[in-house]
Amino acid sequence: MEAQPRILVVEDDRRLARMLAEILESEGYAVTLAYDGQRALHEGLTREFDVLLLDRGLPAIEGLDVLTRLRSRGVLAPVLVLSALGTPADRVEGLDRGAEDYLAKPFDVDELLARLRALRRRSIARVPVLTVPGGSFDAAGRTVSTADGAQVVLSEREAALLEELARNPRLVFPRAELRDLVFPDADDDGVVDTYVHYLRRKLGRPVITTVRGVGYRLGAPA
Ligand code: CA
Q: If DSSP codes are grouped into helix, strand and coil, which group holds residue 173?
A: strand
What are the residue boundaries of the structural domains of the chain, listed by start?
6-125, 129-218
pLDDT at 122: 78
Q: Please give all residues whose CB falls under 5 A of ion ligand 1, grouped by chain where several chains appear.
A: 12, 55, 57
pLDDT at 75: 81
Distance 30 CA to ligand 1 centre (A): 22
Fold (topology level) of 6-125: Rossmann fold (3.40.50)
- Within the chain, where are the H helices? 14-26, 37-46, 63-72, 88-96, 109-125, 156-167, 175-182, 190-203
Fold (topology level) of 129-218: Arc Repressor Mutant, subunit A (1.10.10)
Distance 214 CA to ligand 1 centre (A): 37
**CA atoms in the 13 A half-sphere facing the CB of 138:** 10
**CA atoms in the 13 A half-sphere facing the CB of 53:** 32
Distance 14 CA to ligand 1 centre (A): 9
pLDDT at 55: 98
The C-alpha atoms of residue 169 and residue 162 are separated, in whole angstroms, by 10
pLDDT at 222: 47
The C-alpha atoms of residue 220 and residue 204 are separated, in whole angstroms, by 12
Distance 12 CA to ligand 1 centre (A): 5
Distances (CA, A) of 190 to 16, 34, 105, 194, 212: 46, 36, 50, 6, 15
Distance 5 CA to ligand 1 centre (A): 24
Distance 22 CA to ligand 1 centre (A): 18
pLDDT at 121: 82
pLDDT at 1: 40
Query: Would you write out the chain's pLDDT as a tens digit for each of its 222 residues?
Result: 457 899 999 999 999 999 999 999 999 999 999 999 999 999 999 898 999 999 999 999 999 999 999 988 778 889 999 999 999 999 999 998 889 999 999 999 999 999 999 998 877 666 568 889 988 998 877 889 888 888 899 998 999 999 999 988 888 999 999 998 899 889 899 999 999 999 999 999 999 999 999 999 999 764
The C-alpha atoms of residue 199 and residue 216 are separated, in whole angstroms, by 12
Distance 57 CA to ligand 1 centre (A): 4
- Could you tell me the sign of the dihedral formed by the alpha carbons of 5, 221, 173, 194, in that order? positive
Distance 159 CA to ligand 1 centre (A): 41
